[in-house]
Structure 1
Amino acid sequence: MSNVNVAIRVPALLGEGPSWDAENGRLLWVDIEGFKVHAYDPATGLDEAFDVGQHVGAVVPYQGDEVMVALRSGFHAFHLRTGRLQLIEDPEQGLDGNRFNDGKCDAHGRFWAGTMSMRNESGTGALYCLEEGQPVRTWVKGVSTSNGLGWSPDRTAMYYIDTPTRCIDRFDFDLTSGTLSNRTTLIKVPEALGFPDGMTVDAEGMLWVAHWGGGCVTRWNPDTGELLQRIDVPADQVTSCCFGGENLEDLYITTARTGIREERLQETPDAGSVFVVRPGVKGQETHAYDKRNKG
């Protein structure tokens, strides 16, 4: 297995939410605190940043240069080139102390994203689902920091992380109706590994988890709870990960600089960068928003 390398050397305050845009051969990711959506082309090495003017928790592919974003003010369509923002729905209108965090699409193109308090309040967030032509649905309430999401390869399970609980949970998932049931805790992450943050699921059904304060990503078997693999990252605040590249063999890892003392930043100068590694397994495809109706 090759070593972790810097893919994008950039001092992101809070890099997060990577998703692979296969149609355009690029990695989409966000800097939540920098108010930016990024698009990185590994073929050229060019990383472009687009200002959205507010906290942006997640980005997913949509159509061409239009992406879907979960902003502090709700779900929007965002055109990278023109800067046009179109509000779809804000399910937390009036909750000024919250913002959206991690999110991604299921295999039917529904956009799942959750919220968290910016005041360190517990239980004020929720997990929502945006589906084309439907009102936003609320699926999980009483969330503190809505984070990692992922689905099993057979699409019968959805995995979910509410970071302060240190737990990785499983829901039974009905792809046709987009419904969740039977929440069960599978894994309790040890304190020595920091807090579980973003997550992705590989083609073998194993869970890849980023560790805030843990400086690593880990691979877990959801059936047994066994820790299978650990990849150390030269940044303390590891926020999320996703598979990308032509064959989905590259694991992209986002990190943050926020919450780190200046002395420590001197020791880890690449904190905030996006890293890449080939861990020896392939990922599942990133689904675009409402892919069913894109022709």
Structure 2
Amino acid sequence: MGQKADLVLDVKSQLGEGPLWLADQGMLAWVDIEGRCIEFLQLETGERRSISVGARIGAVVESEDGRLVCALQNGLHYLDPETEQLEFIGDPEQDLEGNRFNDGKCDPAGRFWAGTMPLSGPEASGSLYMLDKDGEIHRKVQDIRCSNGLGWSLDGTRMYYIDTPTRRIDVFHYDSATGEISERQPLVEVPSELGSPDGMTVDAEGKIWLAHWGGSCITRWDPATGKQLDKVELPVSQVTSCAFGGKDLDVLYITSARVGLSEEKLAKEPLAGGVFSYIPGVKGLPASRYSSN
């Protein structure tokens, strides 16, 4: 407990989210939701690239065909990283202009899950969706206030999920063959002094690493007991998500945000919006890619 993370890049993302390790390129990607772009950092050379997508972007994942899949405010799209051109897949909420997509991730079977949230207000107008391999988008959970972190157990029978205002990590029974989820139950209750649960990832031992919005930390939890195992402090309050990367998947990369912070707060948190790293002594798992029929 009480370890500290190191700065990787003082990028000052407005709302940095969704770190993703692109193993084939040795590159870290993440989104800046309010900056409406995907950021890329080549770890060995320090070379940077940014792709503007023209709309708020909640998440990005790799597709098996080499493209990226993006969850934008105006629906799900393919993105060709070479041409930077978008190809529309579908928008399940075209009638809900006050919502946007937030966090998303591929399950081990290659389906893309992403959820929505209202741009403002406490309404539970969000939902969690699944983009199936046939390109169809299915609503899996509704009445969500802020759809956030996702993860799966090592044996593929459970899905972990966060609706941030509940202050919980919930667990569903998950059927990897069909993508069906059922039997939602609370798994972890996050203490108020740790801020609100945001993005998460699962390590190679099946434990959950959780980012804390307003909590200046990431934590590690045992899903078998619901107990906290570790805590890593950051010099920024709005910690948004984490993902394993590096050639051995032994580095935890952490995103953060500066949106909504006062000038006084920003003076105390000059690295807000930066990307950080931590060596946890445990490895992660390769990010699953979207697999279409």
Q: TM-score, normalised by structure 2?
A: 0.96
Q: Which amino acid aligns with 1:193?
A: L
Alignment of 1:222-233 (within 5 A): 222-233=223-234
CA contact (8 A) 2:69 2:78 kept: yes
| Identity across matched positions, percent | 50
1:145-177 deviation per Cα after TM superposition (whole angstroms, max 9, x unaligned): 000000111111110000001010001111111
Q: TM-score, normalised by structure 1?
A: 0.96
Q: Which amino acid aligns with 2:47?
A: L
1:39-79 deviation per Cα after TM superposition (whole angstroms, max 9, x unaligned): 22111112211100110000001257621100001110012
Residue in 1 aligned with 2:9? Answer: 8
Residue in 2 aligned with 1:66? Answer: 67
Quote the Cα distance in structure 1 between the aligned partners of 2:61 and 2:54. 18
CA contact (8 A) 1:24 1:64 kept: no
Residue in 2 aligned with 1:267? Answer: 268
Residue in 2 aligned with 1:158? Answer: 159
Quote the Cα distance in structure 1 between the aligned partners of 2:145 and 2:237. 21
Quote the Cα distance in structure 2 between the aligned partners of 1:122 and 1:168. 20
Residue in 1 aligned with 2:36? Answer: 35
1:23 equivalent to 2:24? Answer yes
Quote the Cα distance in structure 2 between the aligned partners of 1:143 and 1:170. 15
Quote the Cα distance in structure 1 between the aligned partners of 2:265 and 2:82. 37
CA contact (8 A) 1:40 1:48 kept: yes
CA contact (8 A) 1:153 1:284 kept: no
SS of alignment partner, residue 23 of structure 1: helix
Larger mean Cα displacement after TM superposition, 197-206 or 23-32: 23-32
1:251 equivalent to 2:252? Answer yes
CA contact (8 A) 1:126 1:138 kept: yes
Q: Which amino acid aligns with 1:105?
A: C
1:89-134 deviation per Cα after TM superposition (whole angstroms, max 9, x unaligned): 1010110000000000011111000000002232100000002214
Alignment of 1:192-203 (within 5 A): 192-203=193-204
Sort the Cα spacing of 1:19 and 1:158 in 2 relative to 1 into closer, same or farther, 3 A: same
Residue in 2 aligned with 1:128? Answer: 129
Structure 1 stretches lacking a partner, 5+ long? none
Residue in 2 aligned with 1:212? Answer: 213
CA contact (8 A) 2:114 2:129 kept: yes
Quote the Cα distance in structure 2 between the aligned partners of 1:23 and 1:233. 29
The Cα RMSD (Å) is 1.5
Q: CA shift at 1:24, angstroms? A: 2.2
SS of alignment partner, residue 225 of structure 2: coil
SS of alignment partner, residue 63 of structure 2: strand
Quote the Cα distance in structure 2 between the aligned partners of 1:270 and 1:182. 41
CA contact (8 A) 2:89 2:135 kept: no
